[in-house]
């Protein structure tokens, strides 16, 4: 009932096409991360530049232009990717198919780390934006972040289409308010109607290589605006037909909006001589100057908070889809392939929620502590994806392949340089943690792949000699020992004894665990009085345990290769779920323990109390 209230009615597989997204809903779902980065990308540029003196902030517009040029090449590259790979998968699929397994895993690991960081940074930035308008909330920012991530998780568990409707209003509101801020601000500036702040005192304190280093750091901070650009290429199947065309158009619209807002906000920050300050954001300062302290200023702050929080949705759509593709290829647990009631990859959504909350708690939801961990992974995946596309064009040599290969090659060169710049400039500030995380993920991919290959060799043998051996085993009749665990004689015990005889074993005996001497004596008397011809063995339990002595007894049988042991475990099934808490669940624990014994077959005999209430004796039966 609670699940239905939170998630709504289940969606049948046949309704999947109705869950596909039109472009107007796909934009807020898949592009909110990139568009929302306008709220902090300019600030990250300025935070680096002010290290060279306040006047160095004049370089910010040139840094923003460089980021936009890079954005154009990346967007054009991914537009080719969505047409070449309409089944989604993005950087991972492109890299694995064209460059090999390890580059594919490197791209996947980098993207997964970036998706987690996107959620953490987006939510923390959103809460920071609202803290600027309502400082009293600052002390509770971590709990607010956790609550908001849980809400976004629930919205995504309700289905892609429903989450699209939910996220569209805040996204379009931010685009209108921030776009209006740029237009109104530039018009008021041209009309001389803006109250400009004084030019910050001081000149550029650094020159030469030191200044270049600061500018490169500013550029790497501004490149955080490009995270989320690849999300559309990962989710092409989520679009309404024609999928590739709609995804390509949405990607172009996203890049245009991001470029306009980033350049506009950065230009206004330079015109107004805005520098980062504690307790507020650069976008908030610009909004206060342009809109004043009235309705539009607070609306901008609330819309900024909303889109930054909802920008996490890009990860909640991209991460589960990437995890499902990895699971399909045997690199992640198969559970990530499963779709929930609403046709979404629920396990991936929940896994991302847990990882993002852990990061936010560790870093106390501090945006500037999280940003250095940001963007390293995404530019690694950009570089691998575009390099893979170059290899693809050289392999296929379709019409116009030279032009496409040149574009992807130049994009790979640019993003490769940016990857090095971002890694070097952010390394000591925490980027090394990303490298460790990606390495751990790749090791995990290899371990999971090795396990699934080993299981596949066992479950699907192809070797003729192995198949012949299996045929001989199938027609053989091994020696069989049947063991029945009992605690008292009742209808369930009688059924279990009948089943044991029906197996025609070579050896059949019952076992009771002696943790209560009086009960054992009563059982032995009843056994003799009823004339049951199955031997009853008593296994001592000096510490009043059940599972450990039972398991040790089964292990002590140690059968040969042509000898199997079948353990019969009778247990009753209660009528109501809450009644399970009234019983000790010995049968469940014993079954779990015997899973670790490779030569044991377990047969469970359930006895439903409710269904047999009229015929069952008073009390319990079997192993409770």
Q: How confident is the model at residue 618 (pLDDT cuts 50, 70, 90)?
A: very low
Q: What is the DSSP letter of 521?
A: H
pLDDT of residue 470: 65
| Residue numbers of the domain that contains 134 | 2-452
What local confidence, expressed as pLDDT, does residue 616 receive?
A: 44
The packing angle between helices 160-190 and 295-310, to 10°, is 140
Same domain, 333 and 242: yes
> Please, which residues bridge with residue 570 across strands?
605
Tens digit of each residue's pLDDT (9 = 90 or more) over 320-371: 989 999 999 999 999 998 887 777 888 999 999 999 999 999 988 887 778 6
Cβ-proximal residues to 305 (8 Å cutoff; 6+ apart), any chain: 126, 127, 129, 130
The answer to whether residue 287 is domain-embedded is yes
440 and 488: one domain? no
In whole angstroms, what is the distance from residue 453 CA to residue 421 CA? 38
pLDDT of residue 56: 61
SS3 assignment, position 483: strand
Question: Is 471 a domain residue?
Answer: no
Poorest-confidence range of 14-23, 81-90, 464-473, 519-528?
464-473
The answer to whether residue 262 scores a pLDDT higher than 90 is yes
Q: What confidence score (pLDDT) does residue 276 get?
A: 82
pLDDT band at 163 (very low <50, low <70, confident <90, very high): low
Distance CA 620, CA 609 (A): 9
Strand order in the sheet with 600-608: 536-540, 507-514, 479-485, 563-573, 600-608
Report yes or no: 90 and 230 within 8 Å, Cβ to Cβ. Answer: yes
373 and 413 both lie in a single domain? yes
Q: Are residues 384 and 498 in the same domain?
A: no
What is the percent of the chain with per-residue pLDDT over 70, rounded to a whole number?
88
pLDDT level of residue 223 (50, 70, 90 thresholds): confident
Q: Give the pLDDT score at 448.
A: 94
Helix axes 141-157, 101-133, angle to 10 degrees: 120
- Supply 617's token pair: 């004796």
CATH at 398: 1.20.1740.10
599-614 pLDDT, tens digit each? 899 998 888 876 554 4
Q: What confidence tier does 620 reach under pLDDT thresholds 50, 70, 90?
A: very low
Q: Is residue 511 part of a domain?
A: yes
Per-residue pLDDT tens for 279-318? 678 898 999 899 987 889 889 988 888 887 777 887 888 8
Question: Are 423 and 309 in a shared domain?
Answer: yes
pLDDT digits (tens, 9 = 90+) for 573-609: 877 777 777 777 788 889 889 988 888 999 988 888 7
Instruction: Report if residue 280 sits inside a domain.
Output: yes
- Give pLDDT, residue 578: 77
Measured CA to CA, the distance from residue 254 to residue 79 in angstroms comes to 12
Q: Give the per-residue pLDDT at 226.
A: 82
In-domain check, residue 623: no
pLDDT tens-digit map of 49-70 = 877 666 566 788 999 999 999 8
Residue 131 in domain = yes
Is residue 555 in a domain? yes
Q: Angle of helix 101-133 relative to helix 282-291, nearest 10 degrees?
A: 40
Residue-wise pLDDT tens digits, 367-398: 777 867 777 788 888 899 989 999 999 999 98
CATH code of the domain in which 541 resides? 3.40.50.620
Residue 134: pLDDT band by 50, 70, 90 thresholds? confident
Question: How many domains does the chain contain in total?
Answer: 2
* Vertex 477 angle, CA 476 and 479, to 5°: 135
CA 317 to chain centre: 9
Give the pLDDT confidence score for residue 103 in this predicted structure.
95
| pLDDT confidence tier of residue 619, bands split at 50, 70 and 90 | very low
Average pLDDT, the chain: 83
Residue 459 lies in a domain: no
State whether 494 and 431 are in the same domain. Answer: no
Residues 217 and 327 in one domain: yes
């Amino acid at each position: 009932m609670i699940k239905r209230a939170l998630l709504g009615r289940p969606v049948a597989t046949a309704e999947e096409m109705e869950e596909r997204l039109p472009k107007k809903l796909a934009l807020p779902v898949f592009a909110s991360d990139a568009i929302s980065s306008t709220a902090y990308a300019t600030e990250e540029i300025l935070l680096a530049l002010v290290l060279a003196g306040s006047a160095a902030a004049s370089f910010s517009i040139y840094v923003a232009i460089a980021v936009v040029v890079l954005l154009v090449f990346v967007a054009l590259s991914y537009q080719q990717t969505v047409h070449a790979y309409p089944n989604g998968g993005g950087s991972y699929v492109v890299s694995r198919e064209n460059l090999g397994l390890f580059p594919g895993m490197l791209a996947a690991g980098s993207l997964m780390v970036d998706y987690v960081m996107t959620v953490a940074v987006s939510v923390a930035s959103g809460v920071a934006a609202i803290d600027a308008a309502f400082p009293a909330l600052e002390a509770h920012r971590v709990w607010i972040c956790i609550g908001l991530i849980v809400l976004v998780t629930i919205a995504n568990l309700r289905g892609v289409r429903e989450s699209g409707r939910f996220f569209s209003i805040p996204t379009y509101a931010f685009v209108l308010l921030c776009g209006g801020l740029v237009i109104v601000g530039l018009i008021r500036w041209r009309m001389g109607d803006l109250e400009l702040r004084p030019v910050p005192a001081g000149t550029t304190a650094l020159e030469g290589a030191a200044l270049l280093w600061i500018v490169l750091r500013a550029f790497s901070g501004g490149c955080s605006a490009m995270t989320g650009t690849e999300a559309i290429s990962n989710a092409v199947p989520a679009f309404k037909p024609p999928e590739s065309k709609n995804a390509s158009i949405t990607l172009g619209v996203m890049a245009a909006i991001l470029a306009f807002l980033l350049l506009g906000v950065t230009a206004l920050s330079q015109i107004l001589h805005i520098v980062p300050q504690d307790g507020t954001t650069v976008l908030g300062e610009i909004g206060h100057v342009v809109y004043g302290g009235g309705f539009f200023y607070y609306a901008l702050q609330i819309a900024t908070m909303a889109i930054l929080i909802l920008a996490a949705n890009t990860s909640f759509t991209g991460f589960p889809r990437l995890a499902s593709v990895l699971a399909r290829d045997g690199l992640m647990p198969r559970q990530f392939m499963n779709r929930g009631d609403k046709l979404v990859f629920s396990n991936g959504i929940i896994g991302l929620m847990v990882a993002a909350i852990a990061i936010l708690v560790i870093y106390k939801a501090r945006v500037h502590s999280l940003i250095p961990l940001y963007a390293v992974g995404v530019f690694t995946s950009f570089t691998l994806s575009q390099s893979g596309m170059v290899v693809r064009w050289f392999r296929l040599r379709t019409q116009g392949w030279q032009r496409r290969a040149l574009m992807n090659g130049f994009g790979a060169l640019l993003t490769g340089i940016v990857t090095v710049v971002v890694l070097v400039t952010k390394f000591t500030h925490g980027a090394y943690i990303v490298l460790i995380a990606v390495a751990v993920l790749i090791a995990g991919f290899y371990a999971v792949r090795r396990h699934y290959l080993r299981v596949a060799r066992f479950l699907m043998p192809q070797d003729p000699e192995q198949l012949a051996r299996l045929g001989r085993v199938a027609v053989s009749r091994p020696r069989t020992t049947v063991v029945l665990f009992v605690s008292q004689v009742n209808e369930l015990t009688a059924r279990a004894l009948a089943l044991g005889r029906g197996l025609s074993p070579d050896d059949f005996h019952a076992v009771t665990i002696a943790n209560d001497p009086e009960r054992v004596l009563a059982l032995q008397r009843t056994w003799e009085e009823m004339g049951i011809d199955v031997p009853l063995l008593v296994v001592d339990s000096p510490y009043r345990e059940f599972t450990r002595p039972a398991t040790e007894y089964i292990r002590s049988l140690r059968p040969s290769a042509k000898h199997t042991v079948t353990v019969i475990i009778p247990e009753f099934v209660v009528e109501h779920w809450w009644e399970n808490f009234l019983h000790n669940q010995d049968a469940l624990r014993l079954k779990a323990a015997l899973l670790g014994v490779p030569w044991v077959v377990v047969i469970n005999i359930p006895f439903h109390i409710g269904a047999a209430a009229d015929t069952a004796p008073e009390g319990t039966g079997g192993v409770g």
